[in-house]
Structure 1
Amino acid sequence: MRTGWFVLILGTLAGLLAPSAAASPASAAPAPGSRADHLAAALRRDPVYVTDHAPRALAPDAPARIRAAVRRLGVPVYVAVTPTLLGGGTEGSDDLVPLLRDRLRRDGVYIVVAPEGTDGAARQYGGGRSLPVEDAWAATELEMPYDAGAVAVLDRFVEIAASGRARERRDHPRPRPKSKVRQALDEDDASDRRAELLERSAFGGGAALSGLPLLALLVVRRRAGRRAVRSGGRNASKAKNGQRRRRR
């Protein structure tokens, strides 16, 4: 009898819990959109998206300068200036470009670049006249220092893409300028060398100045010694002469 009541109670509880368990997947909150979805939504509103999380790398007028630069290409351009890797993720610039094209479904040149200009990618999907986009981007990466900044990198990219010599510039890049970090290190080294030279000069001058009294003392003593020798010679000569006179 007790076993029957126990089974009945368990069955009732299972019946009460089953509907809620079945409803829980349907009522769960939808997963947040991916990073590509977020960027694509921003590019639908404005074809130039610039992150506001890198104030040190991007000046306030960065969006306006980027728009003015890419306008010279004469084709639709979609630019996302954003950190290319976040929190150890695997979505880099090369991955984001096709994802953004897939989300937007619009023809044109797609560019993703980090705020510092250290990492980026560009690709064209239709959108009018064909441009040597990938050659121009490769040449830009070879010619620009790694910390040039996104605005300078995009400006150089547009200049190379419109020059008609993108492949030549890729194969024979101009000398890459020094990075800001390298310039600062070189300036520190030069400053250290100047300080060391001044220190040596000061030490040499101080040693020379401190040696002057000793040199003067040696000169005086040498002259005094010479006078003493001369005086002693004269006295000895007089003594000899006196002795000769007395003998006579």
Structure 2
Amino acid sequence: MRPGRLFLLALSGALTCMFTGLAGPAAAAPLERADQPSRADHLAAALRRDPVYVTDHAPRSLPPDAAARIRASVARLGVPAYVAVTPTVGLGEENPADSLAALLRDRLGKDGVYIVVDPSGGHGEARQFGGSRRLPVDDAWWAAKFELPHDVSAPDMVGRFVDVALSGRARERRDHPRPRPESATRKALNADDEADRRADHVEMAAFGGGAALSGLPLLGLLVVRRVRRGKRSQGNGSQGRGRRKGKRGRGRGRT
């Protein structure tokens, strides 16, 4: 094969690899986004069997009665409700264009309140589709988020959401939230800090007491030496006065 043809083949292969590498991210994006509808299909199938779906992949974040508590809470809304407790990374408020709640409604084709909430309760979304009775879903969801700590459980989040939605003051509570309580992690850190401060106080008190006790013998020694010096000074002073008197007496006898 001629060198010219070899060069052209090598150049063609290099250009093919280069364009393939450039097109790689763009080609991968549709595959990543295609995972979202399949996830919605899986959750929709579960919601057809039970309107409250709770993932079994987060046992540490959810109490054993999570599904029962959520079911009791949304029953108070008085409208059909569908709840999916599932990881929400990249969904809802983080990426409104990828609303899993909207996808679930498309799959089920039923009106009602759709809630997607993370097992930890910190992220998610709530939307209402259709229905004659409208609820302040968006305001209630954000108000519940503002009023609860970051690491609240999903049942507590849904319960507070329902409370706010039925309170008649959802917008007010969203715009003027109460002070947000500390999370369990923050409380644990504060408790550790307080324990460290108490330990420091005890250590300093023990050190001060030990220093005081160890200084007592030295203080006693200094006092004894001071007393002895005083006695010596007094003795030297009386001897000096006696000598002076004796000299005066001898002087008078000579005259």
The TM-score bracket by the shorter chain reads 0.7 to 0.9
Superposed counterparts of 1:42-81, under 5 Å: 42-81=46-85
2:200 to 196, 199, 216: 196
- Select the residue among 112, 129, 135 that pairs with 1:131: 135
CA contact (8 A) 2:77 2:162 kept: yes
Measured against aligned partners, the alpha-carbon deviations of 1:150-208 in whole angstroms (never above 9, x if no partner) come to 11111110100000000001111111111112222222222222222222222222222
Separation of aligned partners in 2, 1:230 and 1:42: 105
Q: Distance in 1 between matches of 2:230 and 2:78?
A: 97
Partner of 2:25: none
Verify the 8 A CA contact 1:107 1:125 in the aligned structure 2.
yes
* Seq. identity, %: 63
Supply the distance in 1 between the matched residues of 2:75 and 2:238 (Cα, whole angstroms).
105
Aligned to 2:153: 149
- Structure 1 stretch displaced more, 197-206 or 76-85: 197-206
Alignment of 1:90-101 (within 5 A): 90-92=90-92, 94=96, 95-101=99-105
- 1:168 corresponds in structure 2 to 172
1:75–1:128 Cα contact (<8 Å) kept? no
CA contact under 8 A between 1:36 and 1:96: conserved in structure 2? Answer: yes
Residue 109 in structure 1 maps to residue 102 in structure 2: no
TM-score using structure 2 length: 0.79
Given residue 96 of structure 1, which amino acid in structure 2 is its aligned partner? L
Q: Distance in 2 between matches of 1:238 and 1:79?
A: 111
**What does residue 22 of structure 1 align with?**
none
Which residue identity lines up with residue 154 of structure 2 in the other structure?
A: A
Unaligned runs of 5+ in 2: 1-33
Q: Which amino acid aligns with 2:207?
A: F
Q: CA deviation at 1:91?
A: 4.9
Query: TM-score normalised to the size of structure 1?
Result: 0.81
Mapped contact 1:109–1:127 kept (Cα < 8 A) = no
- Cα distance in 1 for partners of 2:132, 2:155 equals 24
- Equivalent residue pairs, number: 214
Alpha-carbon offset, residue 231 of structure 1: 1.2
The DSSP-based 3-state class of the residue aligned with 1:40 is helix
Structure 1, unaligned runs of 5 or more: 1-30
- Aligned counterpart in structure 1 of residue 244 of structure 2, from 229, 237, 240: 240
Q: Deviations over 1:46-99 (max 9, x none)?
A: 1111111111110111111111111111111100001113xxxx5557511000
Does the aligned pair in 1 maintain the 2:91–2:100 contact within 8 Å?
A: yes
Matches within 5 A, 1:220-231: 220-231=224-235
